[in-house]
Structure 1
Amino acid sequence: MKINFTTKQLCLKETFSIAYGNYDKREALLIELSHQNCKGYGECVVIDYYQINLQSFVLKLKEIQTQIEAQKINHPKDFFKFLLNLDLHPFLLSALDCAYWDLFGKLENKSFIELNNIPTDHLVESSITISVGEIDHQIEKINKSDWNKFKVKCKGLNKFDVEKLLQLNKNIALDSNASFTDEDCIWLQNNVEVQKFSYLEQPRPIDNYKILKKESFANWMADEDCQNIDSLEELIPYYKSINIKLMKCGGLTPALEMIKKARELNYKIMIGCMTESTVGISAGCVLTGLVDYVDLDGANLISNDYASGNFVENGKIILSPKPGLGIEMK
């Protein structure tokens, strides 16, 4: 097996504004694993509030390259056990795990969905993100969109804006990216109208969730508070829902285990994304038959996508018939 890796720049179609800041581009690391004329792809991106440094990832890959290339082609779960011994950041772990699943499926001529017996008869539609902005501009974007589900970003709580969104009679979620206060959360979870929002994501900064009440009108969803499977037990009294992102939890292999445990604990589950190309989105798409919510609009927000595969069209998940994760470079 051979490994190649390169950094890429993802350019956004328009400035992406969230509570953490404004972005026009994202840096990405593309990983290619190859064997017997088959190539598998994985990806991770720079997210500043996760303090990601791609150059440190590149140095790490150079350090472990010979160990990776010495691996025999085994089941992806065995490859993942090998990766766990290398002390990798979850973002880099995810890129390698996804690339290997893509390669393994192509070598076996089977899709990830076939290999894992994942249902595809009721794929949940994805939301599209509406950036932080003036409320009337956000509503204009929603009304003009061909998508059916929306995640509206906000920076702090404006009760007047909330009331305007509730009047739209659309499928809307709120994502404050940890910018709500305790008082905001109390007001929201005691407001019966708030149950019209499909979910309210990561209302408070990390580890500040104990003001939240699971049995309230708000469907609180953990994002940054829910990094991996170890978070699930602790969050039970506070969150009804969790957002699983492959880069956060370390890839498809741990995501499958996390979904299984979250179901046992009666969580609602979302597959989410960062700003990613179709490489990253293709990996997320294969899990959409297992979850309640989907937010995989990352590749729809960029202007220079460099791959094809599974994709999202006006919210609908379109699965590639090709093996592995169906990823090909353009």
Structure 2
Amino acid sequence: MKLYVHEIRLTDHDIWRSAREAIPEQPGLLVELRERDVSGFGEASAFMTDRYRSALPVMHDDLRRVAGTVRTLPADDPGGAWAALAPQLAGSPFLLAALDVAAHDLAARLAGVPLWQHLGGARPEGLHSSYSIGLDTPDVMVRKLRERPGWPAYKVKLAAPGDLHVLRALREHTDAPFFVDGNCGWDLPGTLAALDGLAGLGVELLEQPFPRERWDDARTLKAASPVPVFADESITGPDDLDACAEAFHGVNLKLMKAGGITPALSMLRRAHAHGLGTMLGCMPESSAGVSATAHLGPQVDHLDADSIALLAIDTGRGVLLDASGRITLPDAPGTGFVPDFTGPAFTVRPADADALDHDEARLSVHRDGTAVASARVRRRPLPGTEPVDDVRELAETTQDGATAEETTALLRTAVTRAVASGARTVWTRPDDAFRPALRAAGFVAHDPARTDSPLLWKA
């Protein structure tokens, strides 16, 4: 399979807040796998970067490490691809998930069937998502609920178990159930004291009130709570399921956190065998990721797939989420996601996404619809040497008001693009404006004694 990578940056209508963080914008990667001019897509958010090795530079480094493996993988065996990549991406579940989702999407598209059918699942019908209300002042949280009336459930972020006044304010405007998410910010005494109040206000699910490491507190709460308690941060992979079965009533699985569709399906089977309730959620992600999640909807009790409803900027079109939370999947093969490479979500974009060439590409960084930097990646030998397959030139570098961050994004994407096509060496003769960013990206002088020496990057 051929590998392409695109940097993205998402923004919501409102700054997203939980007990753990505030997110003004969300960078990430859109991973594309291509075979026979058909592409599959997966998404990796640069979110909780230390825990999930998901910072953009780290994910680029990881992609470069596995690019050679990806090129050898068949397009009709996503499970085999995951098995080959998982040992190389241990500790990097978001990137592994992006590659796995893209592989499943591609295989289904090549087979000409929707993803749910390719997975052997049930046709998704009658699916609905809960709507998430981020942490804010009570007035703002009420405003968010009133802007989205009629959803089947509302997932409410609360900073502390004693914040029942927030739920009372929201309850004045809806009869729908509440799912309350503590995002690891609560304590056991306060939570135990709030249980009756939570139940009385129509809370039907309590998600991850305590930090992951507080298993004893979770077991105590499970025994006492009239409200089902679901794990989120406590369930990061199959190895956590036995402990979660003891400490929680259910689990909230997310494809990114699980490492993709392949392990998520296995985890769902095991969760059902344990008698656990199940939810599929989403990270801060776009239609690329949510469209894949929705295809697994019939296999769970609850869907929390509303991140696209919160977005002011999306990466394209895919699953549809109407004003009441009803989910409609595209009538198309694979996930049905179609990227909009010309849209503002793509910080680094290909000049012609419809005619991708694995050996040559022009990439550009756009801001407010205008290109502020660009570069061309092409097969070209180092001056004075014979042509070889593993050398690419970074040529025609230009910038017009690009920030250092934008230039860095362009260069790291260009290098990853070159490595994905088989390069072990990338060389360039840049103008002076690009030299600091190139050196920061790991380029060094081919001949330090010469001022006009090309700069080299080596794998």
How does the TM-score come out when normalised to structure 2?
0.68
The Cα shift of 1:269 comes to 0.5
Choose 117-126 or 175-184, whichever is displaced more.
117-126
The answer for unaligned runs of 5 or more in structure 1 is none
Pick from 72, 75, 88 the counterpart of residue 74 of structure 2: 72
Equivalent residues of 1:124, 1:292 under 8 A apart: no
2-side partners of 1:198 and 1:190: how far apart? 12
* Aligned positions of 1:40-79 closer than 5 A: 40-48=40-48, 50=51, 52-79=54-81
Question: 1:161-203, CA deviations, whole angstroms, 9 ceiling, x for partnerless residues?
Answer: 3444456522211112111111122123455835831211110
Residue 11 of structure 2: aligned partner:
11
What is the deviation of 1:72? 2.5
Residue 324 (structure 1) aligns with: 334
Counterpart check, 1:39 vs 2:45: no
Other-structure match for 1:26: 26
C-alpha spacing 1:134/1:33, structure 2 compared with 1 (3 Å) = same
Counterpart amino acid of residue 5 in structure 2: F
Q: Which has the larger displacement, 71-80 or 266-275? A: 71-80
Gaps of 5+ in 2: 341-459
Which residue does the alignment assign to 2:182? 176
Specify which of 145, 148, 157 is matched with residue 148 of structure 2: 145
1:270 aligns with 2:273: no
Deviation per residue, 1:109-137 (Å, 9 max, x gap): 11111112222355441111111122243
217-226 or 42-51, larger mean C-alpha shift? 42-51
> Which residue does the alignment assign to 1:82?
84
Alignment of 1:1-330 (within 5 A): 1-48=1-48, 50=51, 52-88=54-90, 89-120=92-123, 122-148=125-151, 149-157=153-161, 158-165=163-170, 168-189=174-195, 193-194=199-200, 196-212=202-218, 213-215=221-223, 216-314=225-323, 315-330=325-340
Greater relative contact order, per chain length (Cα 8 Å cut-off, separation 6+): 1
Q: CA deviation at 1:39?
A: 0.4
Letter matched to residue 283 of structure 1: A
Q: Please report how far the alpha carbon of residue 301 of structure 1 lies from its aligned counterpart in structure 2 after TM superposition.
A: 1.5
State the alpha-carbon separation in 1 of the partners of residues 228 and 112 from structure 2: 40
Cα distance change on mapping 1:99 and 1:67 into 2, 3 Å: same
Distance 1:301 1:164, change over 3 A: closer
RMSD: 1.9
Alpha-carbon spacing, 1:235–1:63, altered in 2? closer, same or farther (3 Å): closer
Count of residue correspondences: 330
Q: How many angstroms apart in 2 are the aligned matches of 1:122 and 1:40?
A: 23
For the residues of structure 2 that align with 1:79 and 1:115, how far apart are their CA atoms?
Answer: 16
Report the secondary structure of 1:12's partner residue: coil
Please tell me the residue identity of whatever aligns with 1:169: D
Answer with 1 or 2: which has the greater Rg.
Answer: 2
Distance 1:131 1:62 in 2: 36
Residue 29 of structure 1 and its aligned partner are, at CA, apart by 0.7
Report the Cα offset of residue 290 of structure 1.
0.8
1:206-259, Cα deviation, whole Å (9 max, x unpaired): 121422333421211100011112111112232111100001110011111111
| SS at 2:14 equivalent | strand
Secondary structure in 1 matching 2:314:
coil
The residue matched to 2:15 in structure 1 has which SS?
strand
Q: Deviations over 1:241-286 (max 9, x none)?
A: 1100001110011111111110111111010001111001111111
Q: Are the equivalent residues in 2 in contact too, given 1:41–1:103 (CA < 8 A)?
A: yes
The answer for the alignment partner of 2:357 in structure 1 is none
Q: 1:166–1:197: 8 Å Cα contact kept in structure 2?
A: no
Contact (CA 8 Å) 2:66, 2:85: kept in 1 or not? no
CA contact (8 A) 2:167 2:201 kept: no
- Once the two structures are superposed, residues 97-116 of structure 1 have per-residue CA deviations (whole angstroms, 9 ceiling, x without a partner) of 00001111111111111112
Matching residue of 2:440: none
8 Å Cα contact 2:281/2:305 also seen in 1: yes
CA-CA distance at 1:147 after TM superposition: 4.2
TM value normalised by structure 1: 0.94
Deviations 1:64-102 (A, max 9, x none): 212211222332111111112323411111000000011
Percent identity reads 26
Partner deviation per Cα, 1:2-35 (whole Å, 9 max, x = no partner): 1011211112221111111222100111111001
Q: 1:169 to 1:79 in 2, by over 3 A?
A: same
SS at match of 2:144: helix
- Could you say what secondary structure the match of 1:140 adopts? helix
- Amino acid corresponding to residue 310 of structure 1 in structure 2: V
Distance of 2:196 and 2:216 partners within structure 1: 15
Structure 1 residues 166 and 13: CA distance shift in structure 2, 3 A = closer
CA contact (8 A) 2:94 2:256 kept: yes
